């Protein structure tokens, strides 16, 4: 665990500590803090990132997601919301508002459709829709009658097979290539990746 007041110090700390979870306040320190996200995440490839901001700037929020932020909390929200977001992302989930998820699905480029899709196992084809639907690893394990550790192992292998960096990228890939559908209709405010206001649900990093 550590804290750093500047991006340079945060980069050094991240390199040394290799955190599993990072919280970045976009409104503290240098301007354009989102520009430093790629370097921070490159320094700790396994880290999951939550950003905190007091700015209601949709473009800044999209930029954070573009740089692999898996959670975004606005400072006007209750402190308990930040704690929920940190727990959710640490557990392998995503904490993003439905408009951000919809934007990501429409905008972020999909990886080329790989031949690996034809080699997906029965478990992988069964598990992908559960990931997109927002189930946690524990819930997937209960649904499929396997151990939670086995679910984590399968997810890591699945991300590697499809060439995607994490759980959110896997969900985007699945939706864009017809492997799963988001359980919400166009134009509605619902989305499996965030249950409005009370909890975030998976997907996220594998």
Query: Under CATH, what is the fold of the domain 7-90?
Result: Rossmann fold (3.40.50)
Per-residue pLDDT of the chain (206 residues; tens, 9 = 90+): 677 766 677 777 777 878 888 888 877 655 566 777 777 777 776 678 888 888 778 888 888 888 778 888 988 888 899 998 888 788 767 788 878 877 876 777 655 556 778 888 888 889 999 988 878 888 999 999 999 889 888 888 888 888 777 777 788 788 878 888 765 433 333 333 433 333 333 333 45
Asked if CATH classification 1.10.10.10 holds for the domain at 97-206, the reply, yes or no, is yes
Residues carrying CATH 1.10.10.10, the chain:
97-206
Residues of the chain within CATH 3.40.50.2300 domain(s) are 7-90
Q: Which residues of 31-62 are buried (b: 16+ CB within 10 A; e: fewer)?
A: eebbebbeebbebbeebbbbbbbeeeeeebbb
Cα 95–chain centre separation: 7
3-class SS of residue 92:
coil
pTM score, whole prediction: 0.54
């Amino acid at each position: 665990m550590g804290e750093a007041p500047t991006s340079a110090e945060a980069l050094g700390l991240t390199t040394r500590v290799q955190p599993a979870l990072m919280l970045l306040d976009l409104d503290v320190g240098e301007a354009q803090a989102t520009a430093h996200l790629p370097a921070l995440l490159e320094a700790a490839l396994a880290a999951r990132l939550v950003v905190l901001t007091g700015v209601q700037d949709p473009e800044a929020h999209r930029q954070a997601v573009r740089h692999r932020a898996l959670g975004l909390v606005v400072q006007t929200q209750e402190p308990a919301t930040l704690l929920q977001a940190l727990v959710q992302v640490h557990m392998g989930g995503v904490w993003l508002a439905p408009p951000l998820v919809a934007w990501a699905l429409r905008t972020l480029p999909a990886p080329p459709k790989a031949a690996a899709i034809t080699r997906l196992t029965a478990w992988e084809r069964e598990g992908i829709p559960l990931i997109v639907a927002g189930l946690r690893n524990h819930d997937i394990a209960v649904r499929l009658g396997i151990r939670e550790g086995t679910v984590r192992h399968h997810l890591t292998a699945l991300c590697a097979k499809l060439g995607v960096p994490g759980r959110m990228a896997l969900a985007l890939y699945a939706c864009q290539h017809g492997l799963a559908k988001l359980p919400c209709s166009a134009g509605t405010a619902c989305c499996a990746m965030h249950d409005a206001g009370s909890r975030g649900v998976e997907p996220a990093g594998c």
